[in-house]
Amino acid sequence: MIDILLTSQTLNITGCADAVMSPQSGGIDLFIGTVRDATKGKTVLRLEFEAYEPMAKSEMNKIALQAMEKWPLHKVLIHHRIGVLEVGEVPVIIAVSAAHRAAAFDACRFIIDTLKLTVPIWKKEIFEDGEVWVAAHP
């Protein structure tokens, strides 16, 4: 089972864990990305996320399928938020269930690492004295 969501609503951490539970699963790995209050020593006030929505969902689905091919997983969930997020809020949750923990840990890391490389979502950091699209310039 694959569960992909791109939303402007608050992500539900316990709901995501519940969604991947199954009687066959011996472990669930949950990655929760949160908005940090500083980057390179500069205070971050908030982040703004935007997505190329149809392609982002399609790329998220591809990553989930790749993970299911590489590891014996039961369920894979990828939820990502868009819009304005304050410090401490949750932009992304990855949840994976498997019979044993090694597959769940490895797949969860693969999914978040690949998401950061391929899914067309962008974040802008808002500072006290300006704003910048992350990774846009060398």
Partner 1 sequence: MIIKILAFGIAKEIFGGSSIDFALENEVTTVDLKAALEERYPSLAELSSYLLAVNNEYAAPDLTIGAKDEVAIIPPVSGG
Q: Does 88 bind partner 1 (CB under 8 A)?
A: no
Number of residues binding to partner 1, judged by CB under 8 A: 29
Task: Give me the count of residues in the chain.
Answer: 138
* 58 contacts 90 by C-beta, under 8 angstroms: no
Smallest distance from partner 1 to CB 109, Å: 12
Q: Which of 20, 92, 107, 108 binds partner 1 (CB under 8 A)?
A: 92
Which of helix, strand or coil describes residue 105?
A: helix
Q: Does 69 bind partner 1 (CB under 8 A)?
A: no
Q: Does 124 bind partner 1 (CB under 8 A)?
A: yes
Give the sign of the dihedral formed by CA 47, CA 52, CA 55, CA 58: positive
Q: Specify burial of residue 25 (Cβ count, 10 A radius: 0-12, 13-18, 19+).
A: middle
Determine how many CB atoms are found less than 10 A away from the CB of residue 127.
14
Contacts to partner 1 from residues 17-46, by CB under 8 A? 33
Nearer to partner 1, 46 or 124 (CB): 124
**Contact positions toward partner 1, by CB under 8 A?**
33, 49-52, 54-56, 58, 80, 91-92, 112, 115-124, 133-138
